[in-house]
Amino acid sequence: MKFIKRLVVTILLIIILLVCGVVYMGYNMYQDAINTTSISERIKNIKSDENYITFDKIPDDFKNAIVAVEDHRFYNHDGIDLITTTRSMMENIKEKDIVAGGSTITQQLRKTFIFYTRTTFYKKNCRTICCI
């Protein structure tokens, strides 16, 4: 019984240390990204695009379709869907590859807006955990 308790405590400590390390690395990735191009400069670039439209000009049916397909619990969380994030992280860890996505619309916007780099297993999970 003592062995199992020690094993569980050890595993929990390892998980905590890994999460802390990934959060730290994710934060550094975020800092590098915003130091490359400021957020105000990115907004300026987006608004200058000929295809830019304001949110109120997007049809409600289109907005509802995006929510239904991309993040069906969008109105029930504050930007992080822990159920979907946990499920996708476990699948990705199990497969040692990116096989599932768990990003909410909020996280996808942040990723697109701040991170322009190609997704890798490491970056995907650093960004996901960093948002939590």
- Tokens representing 98 are 């990116």
Q: Which residues 6+ apart lie within 8 Å of 84 measured at CB? A: 73, 102, 104
pLDDT of residue 132: 44
Task: Quick: pLDDT tens for 20-52.
Answer: 777 787 777 777 777 777 778 888 888 898 989
Task: Quick: pLDDT tens for 80-123.
Answer: 888 888 888 888 888 888 888 878 888 888 777 776 555 555 55
pTM strictly above 0.85: no
Task: Quick: pLDDT tens for 71-81.
Answer: 989 999 888 88
d(CA 107, CA 9): 31
